[in-house]
Structure 1
Amino acid sequence: MSQLFYLRDSRSNVGDTCMFWAKNGLGYTSDLNKAHVYTKEEAQRYFDSRETDIPYSKDQIDQLATVRVDHQYLPTTSLPFIEHDTDCVIHIVGDYNGNDIYWLTDAYHSVEYSDALVLPQAEALKKAVHLAKYNVETVIYPKSVIDHIARRTFQVSNVNKRKMVTGAGIKNNHPRKRNRPTTGRTRGNCPDCGKVTWGFNPYELYTCAEAKNERLGLGYQLFDNCEDVKQARSAA
């Protein structure tokens, strides 16, 4: 296995597709063919600088890559077909996964372009007419045109940090964040005596008596003032 990596920006995705640093630092891209490839040393350095830029093994990402088509690169005008037997693919209009579009397949539709049904133009037109009867809007494209804009992508569901990051030799040098348990109460000061009080309503100043009653889960005023609370503490 080679020691090469893609650098993922883990802060956001497009649909369920991961974003990676593009070649030469030119922003981010979902197209693996446009993603910058880093050595292990470079990847570790970037990861150490910012923990959201996570290096993933290039070999493992490439093995799980899927081919999809971004709607932004579709032809804006209808294209003439060269021959009636030209291989065509059928885009199902209306559904998107991020920027990626869906294609007619044997099992209805899929965002994976490799699953698209490939038909001669005449058969593709018949399919489109049939689907229109069920109010399914379609657009037919020559396969050769879509092949030119299709790109390799990687999905969040395939992320495995243990194998693709640490298992590939990248060290996580960032301190582990510990989540402190919380009661849900907010700290304040008793407006009568100034002692620290805790209450569930962050917009109220709790007296000692109010905080004590709430902490005991009482629906009535067992304690009326700070002195009552002080005496209860002494008795305990």
Structure 2
Amino acid sequence: MADRFYLACLRDTVGSNMSFHCYQGQGYASDINKAHVYTLEEAQNSWNRGRDIDLPVSADAIDTAAVWHVDHQHIPGESVIKDGCKGYVAFLKGQWNGNDVYWLSDLLPTDDFSKARVFAQPDTTDTDLVWLPFTTADAVKRRTFNINLLDRRTMIQSAGLRQPSWLKRQKRRKSSGKTRWNCPCCGKISWQENPYDFDGCRDCACEGHR
């Protein structure tokens, strides 16, 4: 078992991309290459004293499942045609997975840049596509991990991490089954069985909220 772990921040997920604590605590990023690498001991200690939005995961497992994405903020939003360019890629205009674009591929459009089809010449007659030199997009691609592929058994438990005591206690708490509402008139909190419609506020005299 490799002694390499990342610390995910589940609060900062962008599209399907899991975000990670960056090197030496410098914020969060979906770019795996910017993620801080922890030992098992460091990862366990961070989890033991961490927040419920922080989750240590096996770095090797994340790396194996990583895909290449391109953030639309780092590439031109309009087609770029260059003399002598021998390879172009095209993405769908106005469609994103979080910040990442969808590329034309040999099958369906995909956000995985490694599957983008490379064309010898662009077809600029299609106004729903943006054409770029392959090298332009390739220069800003980054490795990401789809949070929907998170397997807690293999990426956490089997990797040697143990659930903290505070998290076990949290999971044992039983929910009342009620939904919290704030009265739209007085703002007081009400708990009720109905999760879809506000049933009224006992403390509010406003008409329609009693």
* TM value normalised by structure 2: 0.78
Q: Which residue of 2 aligns with 1:60?
A: 61
The residue aligned with 1:150 is: 141
Shift of 1:184: 5.1
Aligned-CA RMSD value: 2.4
Deviation at 1:12, TM superposition (A): 3.3
Helix, strand or coil for the counterpart of 2:114? Answer: helix
Compare the two structures and name the one with the higher helix fraction: 1
For 1:117, the equivalent position in structure 2 comes to 117
Structure 2 residue identity aligned to 1:19: S
SS of residue paired to 1:141:
strand
Query: Gaps spanning 5+ residues in structure 1: where?
Result: 186-198, 206-236
Alignment of 1:98-137 (within 5 A): 98-120=98-120, 122=121, 124-125=122-123, 128-129=124-125, 132=126, 136-137=127-128
> Structure 1 runs of 4+ off > 4 angstroms?
76-80, 199-202
Which structure has the larger Rg over C-alpha atoms? Answer: 1
> 1:196 is matched with which residue?
none
Secondary structure (helix, strand or coil) at the match of 1:165 reads helix
Q: CA deviation at 1:65?
A: 0.3
What percent identity do the matched residue pairs reach?
35
1:161 pairs with 2:160: no
Where does residue 42 of structure 1 map in the other structure?
Answer: 42
Q: Which runs of 5+ in 2 are unaligned?
A: 180-191, 194-198, 204-210
Q: 1:170 to 1:107 in 2, by over 3 A?
A: same
Which of the residues 176, 179, 183 maps onto 1:182?
Answer: 176
- Kindly tell me the number of residue pairs found equivalent between the two proteins: 182
Structure-1-length-normalised TM-score: 0.70
Aligned-partner Cα distance in 2 for 1:66–1:176: 35
Distance 1:30 1:160, change over 3 A: same
Distance 1:183 1:41, change over 3 A: closer
| 1:57 partner letter | S
Q: What SS class does the counterpart of residue 36 from structure 2 fall into?
A: coil
